Structure 1
């Protein structure tokens, strides 16, 4: 993978997982917990999400082959899914859904939010899982590209864990308005990346049909 591909992979996963947007939700989910308990919850959530994303990155392509779905088709579907996510971010729909999940879980006494909803679907959600398959597919057949994608993913999950650790001060510093501004900027960037995935998928379909030469 080139340096540009690595940067693209990092930005794509960072936008999808949205560690900054998760910080205030982590605060809400861990209300009443001590600092040590918050660290433990954040670590468990990050490890579980890392395992899920790794498994899907390694076995996702095999699952697609077993079902009979081509990578170009999955790229187009994944791009459309990411565009919906970007649309939701631009118009605050995703934030509202996440906050609704948080409210539902807060109603349950003594609930450990590390696996649900933190690890999944907030960190390793459908968009992140689909993105892992897309990025591994774009990395090529060599193990170096696959390893690089997973290292990039691990770095993004580490960013999410870091945001959990400093979520309190960041939430107070950004405030509601600052968080909304950051979410909208990330949503616009994600929309452009999702369109690129669709373009790559269409080019793959045309190449498979012999209508265009390989890039």
Structure 2
């Protein structure tokens, strides 16, 4: 039993090291604030908790059943990246078009009622802003690597659950206290940071699209010498 736990701990560290830089919860905090303009602190706390839960379910599903679902529908990883890249880029573009508004003139609290917050918690706040196609593609790969065709029937679920719990906690804390971190920058600094985060989101979407398009076009491109 101790040997299983040791291997599970090592695999958990592998999963965290691979996914944490891609998900980047602190970097997503400004995007979360921009996407939830007009929401009350209580609503943002609810959204942070729900996003963390949704992200956990999405990553675990990608690790253990995602490859079977994609194989069943005949969807390649390149197609996932192209579609997801376009989706991320479109969200980044919309955020860039958002007009600067003082806090008092932001959207009314009624615009972020609990039913609306519950609907938006998964799309777009969890997918693709928190867990995007890049994270899902990595989770699919890690699932194949850690589970190894069922050779670790007990250790794999333990390592995956431990790693995803750590990632979910990082997402929750980053989003739950995003306003406190951004508040230190002031209104002007916050607007600059939010615009920069939106532009980075747009660039990330284009990069994901380019990567996926390269995979899909590779069979028709001449070999490089």
Which TM bucket (shorter chain)?
A: 0.5 to 0.7
Tell which structure's C-alpha radius of gyration is larger.
Answer: 2
State yes or no: 1:81 paired with 2:90. Answer: no
Deviations 1:118-172 (A, max 9, x none): 7423642345253432333566942289999998876554333223553453354
- SS, match of residue 184 in structure 2: helix
TM-score (norm 1): 0.61
**2:196 matched to 1:185?**
yes
Measured in 1, the distance between the counterparts of 2:210 and 2:162 equals: 26
Give me the whole-angstrom Cα distance separating, in 2, the residues matched to 1:194 and 1:165.
Answer: 25
**Residue 124 of structure 1: aligned partner:** 126
Runs of at least 5 residues in structure 1 that lack an aligned partner in the other structure: 1-5
Q: How does 1:87-98 map onto structure 2 within 5 Å?
A: 87-92=93-98
What SS class does the counterpart of residue 142 from structure 1 fall into?
A: helix
- Cα distance in structure 2, aligned partners of 1:79 and 1:203: 13
**1:43-102 alpha-carbon deviations (Å, 9 max, x no partner):** 742552243222442233322222222221221111111211221232238x9xxx7696
Aligned residue for 1:192, secondary structure, equals: helix
Change in 2 beyond 3 A, CA 1:20/1:112: same
The alpha-carbon distance between structure 1 residues 163 and 85, as it changes in their structure 2 partners (threshold 3 A), is same
The equivalent position to 1:48 in structure 2, one of 47, 50, 53, is 53
The residue number in structure 1 matching 2:7 is none
Name the count of aligned residue pairs.
195
Cα distance in 2 for residues equivalent to 1:117 and 1:174: 30
Task: Tell me what 2:12 maps to.
Answer: none
Match of 1:195 in 2: 206
Whole-angstrom CA distance in 2 between matches of 1:204 and 1:122:
26
Question: Residue in 2 aligned with 1:3?
Answer: none
Conserved in 1, the CA contact under 8 Å of 2:82 and 2:208? yes
How far apart are the structure 2 equivalents of 1:17 and 1:121?
19
The runs of at least 4 consecutive aligned structure 1 residues that moved more than 6 Å come to 144-153
Q: CA RMSD in A?
A: 4.6
| CA distance in 2 between partners of 1:66 and 1:52 (Å) | 20
Instruction: Note the C-alpha offset of 1:184.
Output: 1.9
Q: Which residue of 2 aligns with 1:61?
A: 67
For normalisation by structure 2, the TM-score amounts to 0.59
Q: In 2 relative to 1, CA 161–15 (structure 1 residues): closer, same or farther, beyond 3 Å?
A: closer
